[in-house]
Chain A
């Protein structure tokens, strides 16, 4: 059994909720089950094959989406296994609540990508919106596992309340990166907006350069050698998650400890000062 290529029939129109379109559906029920899935677009419910053309192609168990200019929300939501490739842009909630498998987006993706993700891999070749790896609206838990790599920039509140896992943004992130972070690792390859790690308890935020502003609850721990950076660099380079702006050797970094105002002992490590 090959994979399936889904190509949008009419790119114009309201967003499509793709949250049920998963590789496991294809594995369980085959092409027919996938074609019969009911999707919400705007106020209407439509069969998947009414919105997309289906073509057998690609590796087994893989869904390849050609969104054209359409807005596809919830791509890979709740995904457990297999692979989804998006040959274009994603709307909001890409990979949210994802538990396994791989979601690769060739373009940008909207807000809440990888929100409440607990496993698997999300790769975004373009930019990501706000709340990357954060809790869903009203939720209290951010990402709790898996890895996210964004080759471009990301918005505000990247990794808010993250508990486990890795978020690597090669470009710049907005404000409040890692706010209320509990543990895990966030890597930012370019500039970082104000107040990273506000109210964080534990975890690491690795920055290529000093942030625009640091929360008042952080203290400067000074320069030192951090051996774990060497292990992390090897691991992330292999996964394409070590930003090009980061040093390729050495373990020195400036460490900011906080957020002490929340009793936290997390860290913001600024590597480029080494």
Chain B
């Protein structure tokens, strides 16, 4: 009997410890979000969203160029990674047993684990040394490379989830195989793929390391994709490591903007999953 009680006590303790670990892990999340909201709200204003940075020493100014830059970089990345990722995902799902699909799937998995900074180095060697200047194009390219494997893998997963009966119905009606894939399978899987894309965008929107030596930074508007461009993550980094209080305030405000975008994407992706996609 005593032994039975010990076992129950051990069971209770382990379960309590596991719960404790979960709560402990959420502490930093609460703290980060709390500080970003409280400190960031102070620096956030209309001017912050619409004006260029002021020279050091002058109060005010904003980060409109960094916001524009981040939008531009993410747009370039998305234009590159979404078509390529979706199509390669379709290949991985439709020809999943071929040896080449296995290789490509494996490479995608490995690629999603390599450090983002090495992708920056790669694009530096590929684009920046060739064109001899930093550019939004190079930055967007490196973000696109980071997006590609995750878009491909989520597309694959969701295409595989489409019931076989839908494919059979389409083929039975006389559709050719490729039309069935594009018009039936891909359309059915679209909400899930959209979720994957949103999460991938949320992830690359906050990437800093690969931008340091591809998109670089810019205190002004960048006129074209061939110029160095500012971005929110790089701006947060430069302002946070500076010794000026005013810049720290702006870094918190920029962090608030960035976090809001990322959270919004994550939450809406979550809602779409809850509503439309049956997993």
**Physical interaction between A and B:** no
Interface residues of B (CB under 8 A from A): none
Interface residues of A (CB under 8 A from B): none
